[in-house]
Structure 1
Amino acid sequence: MTSTELPKLSVRSTADLLAAVPYLLGFHPTDSIVVVALRGSKITFAARGDLPDRQASSVTPGAAAAHVAAVVARQEAESATVIGYGPAERVTPAVDAVRAALDHRGVRVLDVLRLTDGRYWSYTCGNPECCPPEGVPFDATTSQIAAAATLAGQVALPDRASLTRQVAPLGGLTRESMRQATTRADERLAELLDQAPSADLPGGRTLREAGVAAVRTAMERHRERGRLTDDETAWLSVLLPHVPVRDFAWERIGDDDWHVELWTDVVRRAEPDLVAAPASLLAFAAWRSGRGALARVALERALRCDPGYSMALLMAEVLQRGVAPAGLDWPAPGRSGAGRRRGPRGRRGRRARA
């Protein structure tokens, strides 16, 4: 499930709402269930989940619907509209289950819609004049909502795969350059630890000081709309697995766009086995700025790198429960220091032990 805090858009009709959904999520949903929740007349929350596949999924529509309803109710929503994207045979049982679950939670369902192949149907309207049996033609690109959202700087990518590509590793010459830069960073880290004072035998204080300096450099550079060099990115990436360094960065993430840009850049350029920490930081930055879908794909990268990485697991639970950023006090670093550090592995051995 993906949740997001919403941009300010004036929605006055069913067509407006359908046109707004891609901008609320950040991409055009397909094979999805979307619940748009309101408090009074204000949209406060949007949640998206995959449309259940009755052949392949072990999760029943009822169980998935109960979870969606619980997340929406947790936002103190008073009413909601349920939208299914896909063929009727898959959408209908799913939206029926979600509607029943929302009713059970005391959330008033304003409408239940299905959008398929450029037409939409309402499950709650039986008037053929406004809801004909053949559906109502719908083209999001002609909506004033799309124009207003674009003017406000909101982006709706073609699909979720396009969002995933935003955090994919860079290839070609950039990847080769980063491999070489990371080798140099490894050597620099080994030299740093070898020169650590005898009073700092494990190298923890030395690592933290180097990490704090690297994080500050990265944040200052991106705050000024600059970008790290390959060597600076590699150096930061080999220091972030040290939990105090990661937590130092975590505590300083705000909801400005440059935080998302910084950690997106590091995630895409870092070597694959070093992605867990920066991807988790990206997920946190995206979630704080109301970009829940981006947070989700960043977590997917973090957990592919390290399925047991504690910060990623924590953020996954936050997203799964639909917790809004305003609902928690900041800063909220992982004070337990429970980020899992991997054991030695090939040329990463010294770095991992650090």
Structure 2
Amino acid sequence: MTVPENKLIITSLANLAEILPFMLGHYPDDSMVLHNVGPNLIDGPTMASPLPDNPADWKEEAELFARRFMTHVQENAHDTVGEIIVYLCREPEPGQSAEQVIELLRPVSNSLTETCTQLRGSVTQTLGLVAGRWWAFECEWDGCCEGDPLPALDDPKSAAAQLIRMGYSPGRRTGEIVKEFRPAQPAAPGQLRVLDNEAAAYAAQCATPGGQEVALDVTHWLLETAIRAFRNGATDLADDMAARIIHGLQNGWACDHGIEFAEDDDLPHARRLWSFLARRCLPPYTQKAVPLLSLLAWVAWRQDDTLTARLALKDALTADPDYELAGLLVCAITDGEDPQVLLNLARETRAERLARTTHSDPTTH
């Protein structure tokens, strides 16, 4: 984001804290953020990474994240790294105070600072944002820079108010974004029963001679039927059809078919379909969402929505750290690769699949 010179006025660390969501285009719940300061402060490379669910994993993840960020900056800035600002965002869990969260984040701040310094980066500020309040970890004065409220948006002196008047938006919180694909509790009556029934029926079919091939053909046909329905304006599917697709997509060949629905005209329809199906994967079927989250991430990446893609992939790899498609997409997005490469491969795969299709049998489409 580029802000005209001499327009944004930063007079305090509180101002520095409140510009974070404007740099990212969203407020990063439960995340680490590194920002390499550019000419207008808000410019420059910025990268966010979700904090793992288990605080015991934070230090290791912080070191890996800092190395990834420094590599990215050095490769894209011809080995020149400016000042770095660290942001740590976390919302308290029930029964947890903001002060307790800050103490949990302090070692993460140290790890990020130490790793960036080892790689020739200069960290000038580390800020914690918790429950609408901010802390400056670099401040050595007791009681100073500890837990003050962020400036109100209607405060004319706030940096956020300045940016809003200039037409910029902080975007949504990540907690709102993940509602697109995370199941809402409780399940609608009968949804789990249908998932149970279809799981048994799918397993029984696959156990018969030649059954896996028949099951795959049926999944192909159901996918084509579902995407056609969503192209025509559908927003949901019958419970049994949705459950059958969820189970069928656990087959890697079926998931490859799903990757094919990524042409420009299909992107919004495929996104709604994968999100709808992912929201159906309630416990104990959470892991069944992994292919769907990966397909959603692929479509979101094609739409240049890398934030949603990263969040969906985080959920996918949390459920199955070894899922190949999710891992491939994470690496591709992190490395700044062009999604056109995967799209071209999907087109070739579709052409080969259709060449083998017996068009007279609708269950093989």
TM-score (norm 2): 0.61
> Which of 291, 295, 299 is residue 281 of structure 1 equivalent to?
295
Q: Partner of 1:261 in structure 2? A: 272
Partner of 2:161 in structure 1?
Answer: 144
RMSD of Structure 2 on Structure 1 (CA): 4.9
Structure 1: distance between partners of 2:162 and 2:246: 40
Q: Distance in 1 between matches of 2:307 and 2:163?
A: 19
User: Who is 1:169 aligned against?
Assistant: 183
SS at match of 2:171: coil
The alpha-carbon deviation at position 156 of structure 1 amounts to: 2.0
Q: Determine whether 1:243 maps to 2:252.
A: yes
Q: Does structure 2 retain, via aligned residues, the 8 Å contact 1:82–1:111? A: yes
Q: Equivalent residue for 1:95? A: 109
Shift of 1:246: 0.6
Report the 3-state secondary structure (helix = DSSP H, G, I; strand = E; otherwise coil) of the residue aligned with 1:34. Answer: strand
**Whose RCO is larger (CA < 8 A, sep 6+)?**
1
Please give the per-residue CA displacement for 1:264-292, whole angstroms capped at 9, x wherever unaligned: 11111246263232132223334554555
Range with bigger deviation, 243-252 or 167-176: 167-176
2:32 — aligned with what?
A: 33
Aligned positions of 1:200-215 closer than 5 A: 201=210, 204=213, 206-215=214-223
**Aligned to 2:47, what secondary structure does the other structure show?**
strand
Q: 1: distance between equivalents of 2:170 and 2:134? A: 27
2:326 is the counterpart of 1:324: no
Structure 1's unaligned 5+ residue stretches are 1-7, 338-354
Identity of aligned residues (%): 17
Instruction: Write the distance in 2 (CA, Å) between the matches of 1:223 and 1:150.
Output: 34
**Aligned counterpart, 2:133:** 118
Question: Residue 354 of structure 2 aligns with which residue?
Answer: none
- Measure, in 1, the Cα distance between the counterparts of 2:67 and 2:263: 28
Structure 1 residue 241: Cα displacement:
2.1
Q: Give the Å deviation of 1:111.
A: 4.1
| Aligned mates of 2:311, 2:302 — CA distance in 1 | 15
- 8 Å contact from structure 1 (residues 252, 331) kept in 2: no
Matching of residue 45 in structure 1 with residue 26 in structure 2:
no
User: What is aligned with 2:65?
Assistant: 68
Aligned residues: 308
Bigger shift: residues 300-309 or 236-245: 300-309
1:161-240 alignment, distance < 5 Å: 166-170=180-184, 174-177=188-191, 179-180=193-194, 183=197, 201=210, 204=213, 206-223=214-231, 225-230=233-238, 231-240=240-249
Gaps of 5+ in 2: 90-97, 155-159, 350-365
1: CA distance between counterparts of 2:296 and 2:278?
A: 8
Query: Structure 2 vs 1, CA of residues 81 and 270 (structure 1 numbering), >3 Å: closer, same or farther?
Result: same
